Amino acid sequence: MRVKLLFIGDIVGAPGRKAVKQLLPGLREKHGVDVVIANGENAAGGNGITPVKAAEIYSAGVDIITTGDHLWDQKEVIDLLNAEARFLRPLNYPPGTPGQGSLVLERAGQPTLGVMNLQGRTFMKELENPFHAAREEIKRLQSRATVIFVDIHAEATSEKIALARMLDGQASAVVGTHTHVQTADEQIFPGGTAFLCDAGFTGPHDSVIGREVEPVVARFLTNQPQRFNVARGRVLLQGVVIDIDGANGRATSIERLSEPLSKG
């Protein structure tokens, strides 16, 4: 039994949500996708996520939403953390933090899937050590799931690669998020773990990582605060499709996606 998993890179604002809604059905059919996971931490106006925006993403066909360092940007997120079983925050928050950092998805006719969400520490606000958190949690997930997917939301490429190398042969796939720049290093490690350093982002690419160009440039020129509105032009859905052998959890193929949304 095999499982095809589609992971969608960071959804940015209304353009990103629109791309998911319009493009996901076709991608499911084209690639024979069984499960869809998406990082939604920028889904609400480019900053954070709310129950309303999460519901829009779920209704478009996404099964599980992961997050990252913008988790707390919208106060309404607490309702997702407390009540939504398909919603993940980074695992390596301190004990007692609302929400969950991993989950197990069971469906008839499909291998049991474990999903883990982590946040890096290099050049980011420090949480607990994601390497220690991953090492402990992977054991728990392995006792319940054959296929395990990890979203590592981190700035440094070295941190993402090192974590994936540590989990080689234990996780089916480790994919990075956060930089909003899709990398071209997709590969399958010797132990069968698929890896991509960054899945990119889903939203407007005539921009600076999803935001209007002028205020970002002004910020760099003047060092003064600016309002970073979500841009609009050249909307892409970026992510990765991974084919996994459900019998042993090893990835057999990994393919980057960068699908344009038509202007109609």
- Indicate if 70 belongs to the active site: yes
Is the C-alpha dihedral spanning 9, 13, 16, 21 positive or negative?
positive
Tokens 């160009």, residue located:
213
Q: Can you tell me the distance from the alpha carbon of 261 to that of 80, in angstroms, rounded to the nearest whole number?
A: 28
- Strands 64-66 and 10-11: what pairing? unpaired
Tokens linked to 43: 């889904």
Rounded to the nearest 5°, which phi and psi values hold at 185? -110, 30
- Active-site residue identified among 70, 153, 178, 205: 70
Q: Can you tell me the distance from the alpha carbon of 98 to that of 111, in angstroms, rounded to the nearest whole number?
A: 28
Query: CA angle at residue 261 from 260 to 263, to 5 degrees?
Result: 125
Q: Residues 62, 37: contact at Cβ < 8 Å?
A: yes
Tell me how crowded residue 210 is: count the other CB atoms within 10 A of its CB: 24
Burial of 130 (0-12, 13-18, 19+ CB in 10 A): buried
Rounded to the nearest 5°, which phi and psi values hold at 163? -65, -45
| Nearest alpha-carbon partner for 39 in 62, 69, 67 | 67
Active site residues: 70
